Chain A
Amino acid sequence: MLRANVLRAGLSRVIGLVTGVAFAFTLSGCGQDAPPPKPKAEAPKPPAIVTVRIGSASPLTGPQAHIGIDIRNGVQLAIEDANAANVEIGGSKIQFELVAEDDEANPTKATTVAQKLVDAKVAAVVGHFNSGASIPASKIYSDAGIPQISPSSTNPKYTLQGFKTTFRVVAHDDQQGPTLGRFATGNLKAKAIAVIDDSTAYGQGLADAFEATAKAAGAKMVAREHTTDKDNDFKAILTKIKGKKPDLVMFGGIDPQAGPMVKQMAQLGIKAKYIGGDGMQTPNFIKLADKYSEGVMASMPGLPKEKMPGGKAFLEKYKTKFNAEVELFAPMGYDAVMVFIDAMKRAGSTDPAKFLPEVGKTRLDGVIGPIAFDEKGDLVNGPITIYVVKGGKWEPLETVTPGGAAEAKPAEAPMAAPADKPAAAPAAEKK
């Protein structure tokens, strides 16, 4: 019967091999007739309609599908708006076309999808959702010279690889984590903190940044536990944490884990406050955690949806179009497309090689607010908002702008030092 086990692993390996070989063939086949995307605006006949493809890569299936579909919808909305506005670039009318791919929140699948998008000759890519997917995929886009804007990946490493093609329109974890840490130690006055992460690039990165800041602010770390992004039994680690009597539990991870975890905490009689990052600041979290979600706090890069400069109009447009509420990152996906189109207009070309330098020079007032990138491709002064669940709904509690002072608590201002310095910042900025 052990053989059965081996057999099962073996079988999947064989399947993997077959797919891999088939994929390699596809690649080599495409390699010959797919030189770097030709400048499509070169056509000398101005009135002709040129089709420009914009890629969208996010998990469209799996536990995080609701968030990935949200991003794709935002991208789709932007493309429809751009087409309705009859954009002309370099003298020809441009018809934008969406190429949406499913990366299943899987790093391996993400590179496959990235290659697929490159082969489909997209001019630009909005994606991916997960940091763990964006990072490996970014190499492929960089090699192909295609600009990539992640609407949501917050792991600092994403923009630290030295690629000229990687951008993001959210604050990163070296901003988000410390903001959470300062909020926990400052506003919530947490003294004993337990930290759990889901062993992913995103969850662990966020938890590490949080831990460093909270520690520096004098809080005691009573436990550091790990789970996975597939698990849903946390009783054992929660029981262990209970024995350490924390007054706050911080989780770096996504809602399919955060929801049941909050429930199980209540069942074990743990009274500590619960706080996390943007991965759990979703309506889905409240659905999964049910009544136990009350009082849970989470940060989210960006202004509250309703408070975004273009928020209200966008939320309404989204609702009419998709008959659903915006989950998280649809506004970021929308703005990412607008950044690309804006750069194309300024460059007068839809050729990635020509408009890529313009992306870095973006000065755009998007749905999410003013958008500009620093030399690494990170959003300059991305605000971070902390939310709390109240009456079964996420309510904004306070907004912090890295580099600026906290809006609500002036006492926090000295701690809210600029976090847009690279990775070492959180430890360094607290004397």
Chain B
Amino acid sequence: MDIFLQQLVNGLVLGSIYALVALGYTMVYGILGLINFAHGDICMIGALTALTVAQTLAAMGLPLPLVLLLSVLAAVLVCIALGVSIERVAYRPLRHAPRLAPLITAIGVSILLQYSAALIWGKQYFSMPELVKPSEIALAGVHLTDLQVFIFILACTVMAGLLWFIRSSRMGRAMRATEQNPEVAGLMGVDVNRVIAFTFLLGSAIGAVAGVMVVLYYGIGHYFMGFMLGLKAFTAAVLGGIGNVAGAMLGGLLLGVIESLAAGYIGDLTGGVLGSNYRDIFAFLVLILVLVFRPSGIMGQHTGDRA
């Protein structure tokens, strides 16, 4: 039983990371109807930026909490700048082009970011200095670290904050108006360009934080880490109903738990025919089933032209 609980905890933490990344996907999709494939790579840039800053500052002997704060700050700033300029350069000129065009550009931007990172940082694996010394919590046979708890709480907080922001703030109202009809929103005095730029700003900032969490949690980063992360987060967003903030959170957690349990029990269930290296099959199998039986995702509304 404690093994099962431990797998559940593993899955929830992994899922929280997916959820953090998925929030960025879903927000941009919700407003623009654009799948920003470069989002996973923005997380990667954030992660590597934080890693570099942390390595440099930790080597200078600064106190670790300060190093952590500064690296998160640096990552967020770099990603915001990156996200907003990508929107300006690669997506805005194509806003009225056929749907396929910005999608292709997004893939292009993703590849561009990956190989720019390969040029800047090189292709090897980097190890993150241990900024937070995770202290262990043992609960009913389950091993937890405070970092894991923090990641879970952070994901929940970001989601709740985002929900509140979109529902209650002035900018949130503008975002919802833009989502429903950009032209009419523009006629009503909403600066559509600014709203969309802000969406990218917010999404990239959350992405940066997600990237930092990944390197903090796993302790390593490399230029290609954004690809699989992005793909999984995208799956999570679709699973939960893309465009729906709470759905992204739910989808992320669900995907994490499915993966974790599949890796843990697939071998026993199939009598050793399939090994734990087949766990991704289960994750994507769930995606296919959801798309077949509920194409709009678990929490998504059926909107016809989207999803």
Contact = CB atoms under 8 A, between A and B. Distances in A.
A and B together in one complex: yes
A269 B138 contact: yes
A8 B227 CA distance: 12
Contacts of A120: none
9 contacts: A65-B123, A226-B275, A235-B260, A236-B7, A236-B10, A256-B125, A259-B219, A267-B145, A287-B127
Contacts of B11: 236
Contacts of B13: 235
A227 B122 CA distance: 25
Interface string A54-96: 0000000111011000000000000000000000000000000
Nearest to B3: A243
Contact of B14 (A7, A8, A235): A235
A227 B127 CA distance: 20
Interface in A1-60: 1-2, 4, 7-8, 11
A306 interface: no
Interface of B: 3, 6-7, 10-11, 13-14, 35, 37, 103-104, 107, 118, 122-125, 127, 130, 134, 136, 138, 143, 145, 218-220, 222, 228, 234, 238, 242, 259-265, 267, 272, 275-277, 279, 291, 307
Q: Which 9 pairs across A and B sit closest by C-beta, in order of nearness?
A: A236-B263, A243-B3, A226-B277, A226-B275, A235-B10, A61-B123, A269-B143, A240-B264, A236-B260
Contacts of A199: 277
Given A11-B107, A269-B138, A228 B124 contact: no
A224 B272 CA distance: 9
Contacts of B218: 232-233, 260
A259 B103 contact: no
Contacts of B262: 236
A230 B228 contact: yes
B134 A62 contact: no
Contacts of B104: 7
A288 B3 CA distance: 27
B219 A263 contact: yes
B35 to A, nearest CB: 5
A290 interface: yes
Contacts of B291: 2
Given A260-B219, A263-B219, A290-B219, A237 B35 contact: no
A325 interface: no
A240 B3 contact: yes
Interface string A243-277: 10000000000001001100100011100000000
Contacts, number: 106
Interface residues of A, number: 38
Contacts of A1: 35, 234, 238, 242, 307
A151 B219 CA distance: 31
Contacts of A284: 125
A260 B220 contact: yes
Contact of A267 (B103, B118, B134, B261): B134
Given A225-B267, A256-B220, A239 B3 contact: yes
Contacts of A290: 127, 130, 219
Contacts of A66: 124
A242 interface: yes
A239 B6 contact: yes
Contact of B37 (A4, A228, A260, A267): A4
A62 B123 CA distance: 5
B222 A63 contact: yes
B206 to A, nearest CB: 20
A338 B277 CA distance: 41
A66 B143 CA distance: 34
A354 to B, nearest CB: 39
Interface string A343-374: 00000000000000000000000000000000
Given A269-B138, A269-B143, A8 B276 contact: no
A268 to B, nearest CB: 5
A63 B122 CA distance: 10
Contacts of B276: 225-227, 236-237, 240
Contact of A269 (B127, B136, B238, B277): B136
A267 B146 CA distance: 11
A102 to B, nearest CB: 10
B14 to A, nearest CB: 6
A11 B35 CA distance: 16
Nearest to B103: A4
A225 B275 contact: yes
A260 B225 CA distance: 14
B255 to A, nearest CB: 13
A269 B104 CA distance: 46
B113 to A, nearest CB: 15
A281 B105 CA distance: 43
Contact of A239 (B7, B103, B127, B259): B7
Contacts of A4: 35, 37, 103
Given A1-B307, A236-B11, A243-B3, 20 more contacts: A1-B35, A4-B37, A7-B107, A61-B118, A65-B124, A226-B276, A226-B277, A227-B276, A232-B218, A235-B13, A235-B14, A236-B7, A236-B260, A236-B279, A239-B6, A240-B263, A267-B136, A287-B127, A288-B127, A290-B127
Nearest to A264: B218
B222 A268 contact: no
A227 B10 CA distance: 16
A258 to B, nearest CB: 11
Contacts of A61: 118, 122-123
A236 B265 CA distance: 9
Contacts of A235: 10, 13-14, 260
Given A236-B10, A263-B219, A268 B275 contact: no
B219 A268 contact: no
Contacts of B125: 63, 256, 284, 288
A235 to B, nearest CB: 4
Given A225-B267, A242-B6, A267-B145, A63 B124 contact: yes
A227 B103 CA distance: 32
Contacts of B307: 1
A270 to B, nearest CB: 9
